[in-house]
Amino acid sequence: MLSQIRPAIMMIVLLTIITGIAYPFAITGIGQVIFPKQANGSLIEKNGKVIGSSLIGQNFAGETYFHGRPSATTDTDPNDSTKTISAPYNAQSSTGSNLGPTSKALMDRVKGDVDTLKAQSDKPVPVDLVTTSASGLDPDITPAAAEFQIARVAKARNMSPDVLHELVLRNTEDRTFGVLGEAHVNVLKLNLALDASSAAH
């Protein structure tokens, strides 16, 4: 019996060392050498201080900033721990709304958002400005969604729409390798560029 148990124990110990220690250390080391920025969370700094990650969206609600997609993430209600409240872009609670396409609550929310956005511009409302992502943390919007918001931001900041258009173009990232995904604009990076441009004017 010992002759059967001993190899099994040795195999468990060996695989634990290989898959639980050696492999994670090796992959972490390779990541730090080849892709250090990505391996450390793709963090974005301003004046030496970390202000976010290019992988996780933030909730920009003011008129003077470009807004990301709606977010369905929630948090615990501080007044009642058995309930939740809306907490857009809560990175500790990544989730979608789980509302189906026939949900009245979803249709009412989208219609309300569309009506609000139509009052800001005569352009067609981009779908990503009224739909949430599966994660609730999408950091990017389409170029069309950024262009749609130019009139509002230009008015709020008293800036030229042409300047904002150039900012959007400079912060538009093409498809990965030219074929994967779609062209997109990182909202945090765009708003940082916006602040810098406002300070310069």
For residues 40-69, b (16+ Cβ closer than 10 Å) or e, as one string? eeeebeeeeeeebbbbbbbebeeebbbbbb
**Cα torsion at 132, 133, 139, 142 (round to 10°)?**
-80
pLDDT at 1 over 70: no
Backbone angles phi, psi at 71, to 5 degrees: -125, 135
Give residue 201's pLDDT band: very low, low, confident or very high (50, 70, 90): low
Over residues 4-49, the pLDDT tens digits come to 788 888 899 999 999 999 999 999 999 888 988 888 888 888 888 8
Q: pLDDT for 120-156, tens place per residue? A: 888 899 999 999 998 999 999 999 999 999 999 999 9
Highest mean pLDDT among 49-63, 98-112, 157-171: 157-171
Which three-class secondary structure state does DSSP give residue 129?
A: helix
Residues ≥6 apart with Cβ < 8 Å to 131: 69, 70, 110
Q: Does residue 192 carry a pLDDT above 70?
A: yes
Distance between CA 46 and CA 58 in Å, rounded? 15
User: pTM for the complete prediction?
Assistant: 0.81
186 falls in which pLDDT band (50, 70, 90)? Answer: very high
Reduced to 3 states (helix: H, G, I; strand: E, B; else coil), residue 80 is strand
Strands, DSSP E only, in the chain?
43-46, 49-53, 74-77, 80-86, 140-141, 172-173, 184-186
pLDDT tens for 59-104 read 998 899 999 999 989 888 888 888 888 889 998 888 888 888 889 9
Give residue for tokens 């990076």.
Answer: 189
Report phi then psi at 167, rounded to 5: -60, -45
Please give the Cα distance from 37 to 32 (Å, whole number). Answer: 8
Decide: 183 and 146 in contact? Cβ < 8 Å: no
